[in-house]
Chains A and B, each alone.
Chain A
């Protein structure tokens, strides 16, 4: 039983709904230097945002009584930031119907762009962008994360990846 479940996962495709990529509203993101163990709603606008101010060395705020320093980090050129969430089972069916309705007008155009065979299967899952961003605020404890912070290094990855994966010339 269990092995057949695993099998389903391997076969599973998680479809990213393309429509959500251009509809996504802008979101405000902060990357905190601490682990909040539980995910869920939080009154960020009530406690965090009003406490933010521009100090001599960048932005200042406090969280749980600790002083944080931060600065805006821009998403590297050529990239867009997205927040994505998996669709729940029930929601997925609704979403599917809905998206089909809303696309009706352009049906002909789509069919041309559509890949030749159906890619969706019954056991597949769906994910959609719920928000987008082009910058986020990076916070450090007491000081702004320096130039050798891991996050900053990670943001240079796409340019390096491009070189590794570019086609090489034939002899």
Chain B
């Protein structure tokens, strides 16, 4: 309690792409963490911009119980490991395009990407080749040399399907993910063949992509990919769920609430079964920690 701020100064362990180090020699500023909307959850999430190279990075946090760091002559509790990896800005733009689509007209991009909650979203407009990117998910019109865009669900689903295919092939070539799975199957079931069914890869990739799009779009994509309904495939043991729930009484009384809760946990579980150890660190619990990282009681800043 009476430790000085110095001793408590939090240290953050990050893994950054190597080229940021080289690029940093030429810049004085231009690397910035900002909070933007998470295109899946709609909540605030930290992203990293490189304004010089004009790139967007997402930040994921490895977080597991019972870990701490020794960093030189200090200890840092929590044992968090942050990853900054390049992110396709189209996922974020899609969030705004879908929102603007409710108005149903062609609009210029600077009227689409507006956000009272996360005003830093204007940084997205500075990324290069936006026009080219937008072609994947929008219809466009050009009037007086100004471009107007309108969200296209058909194009978006096709774009997402390509993303899934691309991810499937990466999963197949990524030794670590696939081999972990084959290994487990070999050890425990002696049947490695069953473990690399094409459908499993597609479902897994669909799960990965679904972390970047809203639920509604994820469901549409699932139908398009002809994946079986996840809820149908899972048996529902209600007795167990009641035991797991903190307030079984409330759950019994309010069935909608109970069901919703149920579905949510189920979805998470079904994702985990897809040999998803590699992704366990991608879970949303990490997001909270990064929020606390930047939300460090930003006591009103003196001068504005």
A binding-site residues for B, Cβ under 8 Å:
5, 8-19, 21-22, 27-45, 48, 75-76, 78-86, 88-89, 99, 103, 109-110, 113-115, 119-120, 122-123, 125, 127, 130-131, 147-148, 150-154, 156-171
Give complex CA distance A51, B180 in Å: 34
Taking A35-B79, A123-B304 as contacts, is the C-beta distance between A42 and B70 under 8 angstroms?
yes
The 4 closest A-B pairs by CB, nearest first: A163-B170, A18-B24, A40-B7, A161-B85
Give complex CA distance A79, B83 in Å: 9
Most buried by B among A11, A31, A99, A131: A31
Asked if B125 is an interface residue, CB under 8 A from chain A, the answer is no
Q: Are B174 and A160 in contact (CB under 8 A)?
A: yes
Q: Please pick, from A19, A39, A120, A150, the residue contacting B11 in the complex, using a CB distance under 8 A.
A: A39
Q: Please pick, from B3, B52, B62, B119, the residue contacting A115 in the complex, using a CB distance under 8 A.
A: B52
Contacts of B158 in A (CB 8 A): 171
Binds A, one of B102-110, B193-201, B261-269, B292-300: B292-300
Contacts of A147 in B (CB 8 A): 180, 183
Q: Please pick, from B18, B60, B209, the residue contacting A157 in the complex, using a CB distance under 8 A.
A: B60
Most buried by B among A11, A86, A161: A161
Q: Are A78 and B17 in contact (CB under 8 A)?
A: yes
Binds A, one of B216-224, B246-254, B279-287: B279-287
Q: Are B7 and A78 in contact (CB under 8 A)?
A: no
Contacts of A114 in B (CB 8 A): 27-30, 52
Q: Are A150 and B118 in contact (CB under 8 A)?
A: no
- The residue of chain A having its C-beta at the shortest distance from the C-beta of B286 within the complex is A154
Asked if B232 is an interface residue, CB under 8 A from chain A, the answer is no
Q: How far is the CB of A6 from chain B (nearest CB, A)?
A: 9
Binds A, one of B143-151, B160-168, B234-242: B160-168
Q: How far is the CB of B54 from chain A (nearest CB, A)?
A: 9
Q: How far is the CB of B142 from chain A (nearest CB, A)?
A: 18
Q: Are B279 and A153 in contact (CB under 8 A)?
A: yes
Taking A10-B119, A18-B27, A80-B21 as contacts, is the C-beta distance between A168 and B163 under 8 angstroms?
yes
Give complex CA distance A119, B52 in Å: 11
Give complex CA distance A157, B9 in Å: 28
Q: Please pick, from B22, B32, B167, B303, the residue contacting A15 in the complex, using a CB distance under 8 A.
A: B32
Asked if B154 is an interface residue, CB under 8 A from chain A, the answer is no
Q: Are B135 and A154 in contact (CB under 8 A)?
A: no
Give complex CA distance A21, B72 in Å: 18
Q: Are B85 and A165 in contact (CB under 8 A)?
A: yes
How many residues on chain B are close to A (CB under 8 Å)?
A: 102
- The residue of chain B having its C-beta at the shortest distance from the C-beta of A20 within the complex is B24
List 27 A-B residue pairs with CB atoms under 8 Å apart, sorted by A's residue number: A16-B31, A21-B24, A27-B71, A27-B72, A31-B79, A32-B79, A34-B67, A39-B74, A42-B74, A75-B15, A80-B15, A80-B16, A82-B16, A85-B10, A113-B28, A148-B277, A150-B280, A153-B278, A157-B85, A158-B15, A160-B167, A160-B208, A163-B167, A163-B170, A168-B136, A168-B159, A170-B136
Q: Are A103 and B177 in contact (CB under 8 A)?
A: no
Most buried by A among B8, B13, B65, B126: B13
Contacts of A131 in B (CB 8 A): 71-72
Q: Please pick, from B62, B66, B87, B174, the residue contacting A33 in the complex, using a CB distance under 8 A.
A: B66
Q: Are B68 and A35 in contact (CB under 8 A)?
A: yes
Asked if B86 is an interface residue, CB under 8 A from chain A, the answer is yes
Q: Are B119 and A11 in contact (CB under 8 A)?
A: yes
Q: How far is the CB of A11 from chain B (nearest CB, A)?
A: 6
Q: How far is the CB of A52 from chain B (nearest CB, A)?
A: 11
Q: Are A83 and B12 in contact (CB under 8 A)?
A: yes
Give complex CA distance A81, B70 in Å: 14
Give complex CA distance A88, B301 in Å: 12
Contacts of B77 in A (CB 8 A): 35-39
CB contact list, B1-49 vs A, under 8 A: 3, 5, 7-18, 20-35, 44, 48
Q: How far is the CB of B17 from chain A (nearest CB, A)?
A: 6
Q: Please pick, from B3, B65, B66, B174, the residue contacting A156 in the complex, using a CB distance under 8 A.
A: B174
- The residue of chain B having its C-beta at the shortest distance from the C-beta of A137 within the complex is B70
Give complex CA distance A33, B22 in Å: 34
Contacts of A48 in B (CB 8 A): 70
Q: Please pick, from A5, A10, A81, A158, the residue contacting B14 in the complex, using a CB distance under 8 A.
A: A81
Asked if B171 is an interface residue, CB under 8 A from chain A, the answer is yes
Q: Please pick, from A9, A130, A151, the residue contacting B294 in the complex, using a CB distance under 8 A.
A: A9
